[in-house]
């Protein structure tokens, strides 16, 4: 097991850092003395909390590739190279039947949840030094079906596949790429009506602290390509994906962490 990678004066970047899981990550990193850069499309409502954490805020859309390249270049030159990048930005479609959504809504989902992750990792890569970490927020719905929101599930499956497939390349450059996959978290992203419904049937929700505990484990264990499952009442563990029958490809090994 490696040591926790962030200490006083180190730089961390959090996308989607102005609310929910991202905001709690900003606060946790700041408590460790890190200099935190927050990239978020709508940081306004969280300005007080972000200021209290001493963070530097960049108001950008993670689906804008050129903007992200510029943001990471600026972060690296002004704050320093990021030792930790938490690619957390994401949205829900909020539809059990994805065919009720118009094309723009579907495009936005794909742009933020898939392209946003790809562009964030691509923008972070040239500025992240050997020994650095990039962790992506996936979802339990990226490891199994999620009938409440199939389109969201599809985007998170894409994210998990991308992390698992790209991790060996970044590992060769000294960068650890992994993911966390929480269940349903009590955040504004889920929606108050859904939260109240789940609580009414005694469904256990994760807190943002639960999810950041999983992030801490991912950063400390530093397993390239691992996808840490986070569920109420259990310790975060890397999910064991089954190997593909008859396939002969790298990492197709059911005994591996994934």
Ordered by where they begin, the domains of the chain are: 11-238 (3.40.50.720)
**How much of the chain exceeds pLDDT 90, in percent?**
77
Mean pLDDT taken over the chain: 90
pLDDT of 242: 79
pLDDT of 204: 75
pLDDT of 233: 87
**How is residue 245 written in tokens?**
């029958």
- What whole-number distance in Å separates Cα of residue 140 and Cα of residue 157? 9
pTM (predicted TM-score): 0.91
**Known catalytic residues?**
152, 156
Q: Residues 109, 151: contact at Cβ < 8 Å?
A: yes
Give tens-digit pLDDT for 9-55: 999 999 999 999 999 999 999 999 999 999 999 999 899 999 999 99
Banded pLDDT at 192 (limits 50, 70, 90): low
Give tens-digit pLDDT for 131-140: 999 999 999 9
Give tens-digit pLDDT for 64-110: 999 999 999 999 999 999 999 999 999 988 888 999 999 999 999 99
Q: Residues 206, 230: contact at Cβ < 8 Å?
A: yes
Angstrom distances, CA of residue 191 to CA of 92, 165, 187, 221 = 10, 32, 7, 32
pLDDT of 200: 61
Angstrom distances, CA of residue 116 to CA of 4, 15, 42, 59, 239 = 26, 9, 15, 14, 23
Judged against a pLDDT cut of 80, whether residue 121 lies above it is answered with: yes
Q: Residues 85, 134: contact at Cβ < 8 Å?
A: yes
**Which strands form 82-87's sheet, in the order they lie side by side?**
56-59, 35-40, 11-15, 82-87, 133-137, 176-182, 227-230, 237-238
């Amino acid at each position: 097991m490696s040591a926790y990678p962030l200490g006083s004066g180190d730089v961390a970047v959090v996308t989607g850092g102005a609310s929910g899981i991202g905001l709690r990550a900003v606060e946790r990193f700041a408590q460790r003395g890190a200099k935190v850069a927050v990239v978020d499309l709508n940081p306004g409502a969280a300005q007080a909390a972000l200021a209290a954490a001493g963070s530097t805020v960049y108001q950008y859309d993670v689906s804008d590739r050129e903007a992200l390249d510029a943001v990471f270049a600026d972060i690296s030159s002004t704050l320093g190279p990021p030792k930790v990048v938490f690619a957390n930005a994401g949205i829900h479609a909020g539809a059990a039947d994805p065919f009720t959504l118009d094309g723009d809504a579907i495009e936005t989902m794909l742009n933020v949840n898939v392209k946003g992750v790809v562009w964030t990792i691509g923008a972070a890569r040239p500025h992240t030094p050997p020994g650095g970490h990039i962790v992506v927020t996936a979802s339990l719905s990226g490891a199994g079906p999620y009938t409440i929101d199939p389109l969201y599930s599809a985007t998170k499956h894409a994210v998990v596949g991308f992390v698992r497939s790209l991790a060996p390349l970044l590992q060769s450059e000294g960068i650890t790429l992994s993911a966390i996959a929480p269940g349903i978290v009590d955040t504004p992203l889920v929606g108050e009506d859904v939260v109240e419904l789940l609580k009414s049937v005694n469904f256990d929700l994760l807190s943002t602290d639960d999810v950041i505990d999983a992030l801490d484990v991912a950063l400390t264990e530093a397993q390239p390509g691992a996808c840490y499952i986070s569920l109420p009442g259990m310790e975060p563990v890397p999910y064991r994906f089954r190997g593909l029958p008859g396939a002969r490809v790298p990492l197709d090994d059911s005994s591996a962490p994934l």
